[in-house]
Structure 1
């Protein structure tokens, strides 16, 4: 037992020891939290930040003599005065820090540091990825900001993200002006630019399995004074050229066909999926499984062009190209339902790239004033998990040509994807759409008008287009029940009627108040020539029907240079032999001469601008159409049978088809005060598209053109939009007595103006059904299908991919339509409304 004196001595020693230990810990903590005071350009390790300075090509003293300052030193150049901080856009830092990474929003604040980190849990669940940083470092060097796209998505053992710090107000830290990716030790040839290069020590391929050669990110640090001097040398434009700082990073998934966002520059070296990746998916046929990822950076915010006002030409023309059901994926896509020759070409390039070449051909051929994508731009079905990478395959083809474009969404556009589609597209050039009112069901309920020519000087809306979200699938309580397609909701119908009631009337037909010159582009949409004889179609189930294969023509822009001449000659010879065999079979089966031109393999019967008396609706076949439950099923023609039965019943009772009589409307002989003609675009068809009640012309022929090769694609629920929306809104204002009360109330509280006459909407345009390409007039309104546009969606080898064109003329009084096939043929031509319409024939 210690004496009292010894006890006191022991307590004193323990107290002094604890005090020294605590003082050491506090000192260590202070040192660790202090900003690094390091001379840039020396090969030193930077502790837990895991960066290493590779080398400096420019000694600090030479840098000072050249007009700059040593990295890390205080700036004395006049460009760095307090007022010059606006050059970095520092006022936006608060919002940027609050909202986090967003490549769609503009930011002019430069990056100062980059880091690469991996983690086993998604940061969305629990963030274990962020680089180590103290509160003091955050306050003096900026907080780490995650570039919120996993570089190892679907290919890595764990998550991998890039992190960045941004320049803080008042800081003299150097800024990042260049980025390079190297899979080997850096040399002066790799990083030959003057300045200080920093290598991030964690490979961008960390965790990728099977393993790849490591790839390291290198970034160049440049003194702010050098950037300011370069800006001053450039003059008024304010750009520092190559020394312009990097202000944003983005990750792209997919191959080289995926474009970066406007203003971004794609780094040529792919992180994964490139030529040095043995497991790169390539075109998707036996070449691996990795879709691939790339980096892109932005230095300057690109000013997007002003959204144009849609206007008729001075000649009164306007061309709309409807592109239906692209079904694009993050990867190359799957080539579906093609003849053997096109399938070989498609697989060599990949379905999406092959489709893009066809899309380019169509844009050059049609030269539209507006492109409408009518749903299922994304393939869904677990293949389009990054919407941005899919949209940036096809959208640049439109806005880089200066073509305004817009969309409605389809059922597959909502399946397992990231990034709000409407947010992305509103940041892309020349996009004409909008999300629509938040109080109305769905995304993308909006109206766009085509107005009078600028030279007219009166700015009148002469044609309206309503865009509606037809949603995806109905949510079932029973998880095992087969999902069915959704339908328009009551608030959408009320919204449509409310917007229709707001449309101003004018005296139709429109007469410009001034004389207009017609030097604008003349429409090239001529009526196609008629062949000598309508091609015959073999009966369903016959050998001829099973063996009918169309002879494909090579797309001029889509030809593959690397297909050798011998392969082509062999293919042509085989097709010629097949044609002879088909003619011989037809002669035996149908008693036709072997040289009869009607046996030339064709996609579908020519129907020109005629009314089809006996539609060829007796065809059925197997298709790989993927429905909402992911199952493949046989596509039939249930609707056609209903139409034929109704026609036979009417003929049996009446002996003829009773003509449909519509109210009189505006004409040159009888001008009227009326609302503009209009169209509706939506993806999933209305039930009325399959109604047997097809209008009949005065000559006793059904108003129908084209054909259907698949069954009912409508929702099982009738939304009521046809009766309560389309037919309820006439084009003429109804006469009202004095003191009449308003009828109907709408979502915005506005009252409807009573209408009468023919429906305001003249055409309802659908997508969704890839091998249905007809138009039918029902109750005075045409319902038309666009048919599948690309090789990435289901189809049939005897049915060409196609896009529908709507040609408006006479300032919207005349509407004609036709379809452009991938063989550059124009089929299913008809004038639907106006002078020369098929009703008048």
Structure 2
């Protein structure tokens, strides 16, 4: 009898487990979807205010538990599992209740304060703080004028990591993480809230600022490639100190961002180009938090920046799609990033026009940004990585040709540059003139050559920058070839022997990515354009040394008088 009872109980337990597993797999409540941020409730609703906030906990082992509060009661879930999908059978979610101001009834309360902690904050302005799950305390006011004031909470978000930041204007990130289960490598979840109305005009002004050459005719571009940031502080790979010895006790993102901030302060660029692999996909289960960390020092310094993507940015099942990441970047202050035409392959094919000094409306410098995609779509025939597609090349050529007439009106040298992530096959040719750095590792260019390099030559681009191969930081020049296309505005299309474009690596900047091959220090590339002289110089800045004294490494002149030049 006892054995029969035990067998029955065992069978019931197994059946319950199977039912729970089925629910877990079938119900998207318990999964973090790659596009969750793109599909979730927008963080801002015009004319609406938050009336309550709470946290729910549930387990797929309990069929009666739920992580969704009733929508008919006004609750909406922030679609980010606070365990980031690592809680196995557990999950936890932030819920927000909101109403438009017109729907508020007399005396109905709105949230005017949010805190996180174990202790009751007490009383503020005659109102008592109300306790919610997850250590959340809300202060709510029933005074009508508070719903239309800067006190009212109008948006709620969740960010992750002990080093999380929120660079958005008007947003405040809680210093205390939500009180959910920690340990087992789980990232801290933090509430971020915004008080007051969404200032659309201010945000548009910080996003759409027109780039312009300085009064002295110079324009400086800082190229940051392969930052490989994570959600959380990250784990260092191949980290070394100034003497080349292995570094211990190293947090990857902390060290990467300290390095980048020192360069931003010493170089004071006019534009920052993020040339791909901003994110280390598998270690970034909340891509939004990761991108915010990289954007924050740029926004703090009011530096315009533009991004393209690399193969690692969206490689993982937990990563956001390229389009979702571009949507995040587009809506941040000082970002010039654009998704590009919908009918062209990739996300991030666009043009930046930099105007001449003063009040001139003529373009002095054009920068083309292109998406070089990720892994090869045909691994059997062409191993390795993807390539610039024919419709991208057509878009580039038609765009360049449509701009040529306007560029010809500029009285000085108009110059064209381009940025991609994955190097072109021409970077690997054996007869190149290699200068201004070292060729330390094999070039992992696409196995198929779509001849984008030829299009760059035809349209007069003088330099192209890439990333991807972290420890290569050289510039390379192909032997001269005949061309009927001008390398500078004053050539008027005459037939001549043409050099270029220069092909330059940026070098890896992040400690979350590899950097082997013999004592490689992280680095970035600087491009300085002088439109009066038609000149472009470039150099690298290295993490280990020289940052405080503006030391330039591997300095090289690549363009002079509007033409590509080879060093003597």
What's the TM-score once normalised by structure 1's chain length?
0.54
Label 1:113 to 1:340 Cα distance change in 2 as closer, same or farther (>3 A): closer
Q: How does 1:325-340 map to 2 (within 5 A)?
A: 325-339=226-240
Alignment partner of 1:429 out of 325, 333, 342: 333
Q: Distance in 1 between matches of 2:407 and 2:538?
A: 25
The answer to whether the aligner puts 1:298 opposite 2:194 as a matched pair is yes
The answer to whether the aligner puts 1:795 opposite 2:495 as a matched pair is no
Q: How does 1:738-817 map to 2 (within 5 A)?
A: 760-778=460-478, 779=480, 780=499, 781-796=501-516, 798-811=519-532, 813-817=534-538
Label 1:810 to 1:325 Cα distance change in 2 as closer, same or farther (>3 A): same
The answer to whether the 8 Å contact 2:240/2:521 transfers is: no
The answer for the alignment partner of 1:567 in structure 2 is none
Shift of 1:127: 11
The answer for the alignment partner of 1:375 in structure 2 is 276
Q: In terms of Rg, which structure is larger?
A: 1
Q: Distance in 2 between matches of 1:430 and 1:190?
A: 39
Q: Distance in 1 between matches of 2:366 and 2:382?
A: 37
The answer to whether the aligner puts 1:686 opposite 2:424 as a matched pair is yes
The answer to whether the 8 Å contact 2:69/2:76 transfers is: no
Alignment partner of 1:107 out of 46, 50, 71: 46
- Post-superposition Cα deviations, 1:536-581, rounded to whole Å, max 9, x if no partner, equal xxxxxxxxxxxxxxxxxxxxxxxxxxxxxxxxxxxxxxxxxxxxxx
Report the secondary structure of 2:262's partner residue. helix
Report the secondary structure of 1:398's partner residue. helix
Shift of 1:447: 0.6
The answer for the alignment partner of 2:67 in structure 1 is 129
Alignment partner of 1:248 out of 146, 155, 158: 155
Shift of 1:155: 4.3
The answer to whether the 8 Å contact 2:172/2:194 transfers is: yes
The answer to whether the 8 Å contact 2:117/2:179 transfers is: no
Q: Distance in 2 between matches of 1:444 and 1:507?
A: 23
The answer to whether the 8 Å contact 2:227/2:279 transfers is: yes
Report the secondary structure of 2:296's partner residue. helix
Q: Distance in 2 between matches of 1:833 and 1:341?
A: 32
Label 1:840 to 1:265 Cα distance change in 2 as closer, same or farther (>3 A): closer
The answer for the alignment partner of 1:554 in structure 2 is none
The answer for the alignment partner of 1:727 in structure 2 is 457
The answer for the alignment partner of 1:710 in structure 2 is 441
What's the TM-score once normalised by structure 2's chain length?
0.79
The answer to whether the 8 Å contact 1:260/1:266 transfers is: no
Alignment partner of 1:470 out of 372, 392, 396: 372
Q: Distance in 2 between matches of 1:817 and 1:359?
A: 17
The answer to whether the 8 Å contact 1:335/1:343 transfers is: no
- Post-superposition Cα deviations, 1:118-155, rounded to whole Å, max 9, x if no partner, equal 34469xxx99422246xxxx4xxx52111111112244
Label 1:786 to 1:132 Cα distance change in 2 as closer, same or farther (>3 A): closer
The answer to whether the aligner puts 1:143 opposite 2:81 as a matched pair is no
Alignment partner of 1:502 out of 393, 402, 405: 402
The answer to whether the aligner puts 1:218 opposite 2:157 as a matched pair is no
The answer to whether the 8 Å contact 2:168/2:333 transfers is: no
Shift of 1:343: 9.3
Shift of 1:257: 4.3
Q: Distance in 1 between matches of 2:442 and 2:129?
A: 63
Q: How does 1:653-664 map to 2 (within 5 A)?
A: none
The answer to whether the aligner puts 1:386 opposite 2:286 as a matched pair is yes
The answer for the alignment partner of 1:194 in structure 2 is 126
The answer to whether the 8 Å contact 2:241/2:247 transfers is: no
The answer for the alignment partner of 1:162 in structure 2 is 94
The answer for the alignment partner of 2:34 in structure 1 is none
Label 1:107 to 1:349 Cα distance change in 2 as closer, same or farther (>3 A): farther
The answer for the alignment partner of 1:116 in structure 2 is 55
Aligned Cα RMSD in Å? 2.9
- Post-superposition Cα deviations, 1:290-330, rounded to whole Å, max 9, x if no partner, equal 22111111112253234211111121100000011000111
Q: Which runs of 5+ in 2 are unaligned?
A: 1-38, 481-498
The answer to whether the aligner puts 1:264 opposite 2:171 as a matched pair is yes
Report the secondary structure of 1:503's partner residue. helix
Q: Which runs of 5+ in 1 are unaligned?
A: 1-98, 205-215, 232-238, 280-287, 513-665, 667-675, 695-701, 730-759
Aligned residues: 488
The answer for the alignment partner of 1:492 in structure 2 is 392
Alignment partner of 1:323 out of 224, 247, 257: 224
The answer to whether the 8 Å contact 1:487/1:715 transfers is: yes
Q: Distance in 2 between matches of 1:319 and 1:498?
A: 27
Label 1:170 to 1:485 Cα distance change in 2 as closer, same or farther (>3 A): closer
Q: Distance in 2 between matches of 1:819 and 1:247?
A: 44
Report the secondary structure of 2:347's partner residue. coil
Q: Distance in 1 between matches of 2:420 and 2:447?
A: 16
Shift of 1:192: 4.8
Q: Distance in 2 between matches of 1:683 and 1:818?
A: 18
Higher strand share: 2
- Post-superposition Cα deviations, 1:665-687, rounded to whole Å, max 9, x if no partner, equal x8xxxxxxxxx321110000110
The answer to whether the 8 Å contact 2:557/2:567 transfers is: no
Shift of 1:721: 1.3
The answer to whether the 8 Å contact 1:174/1:224 transfers is: yes
The answer for the alignment partner of 1:737 in structure 2 is none
The answer to whether the aligner puts 1:459 opposite 2:459 as a matched pair is no
Shift of 1:473: 0.7
Q: Distance in 2 between matches of 1:261 and 1:313?
A: 28
Q: Distance in 1 between matches of 2:352 and 2:423?
A: 21
Label 1:345 to 1:353 Cα distance change in 2 as closer, same or farther (>3 A): farther
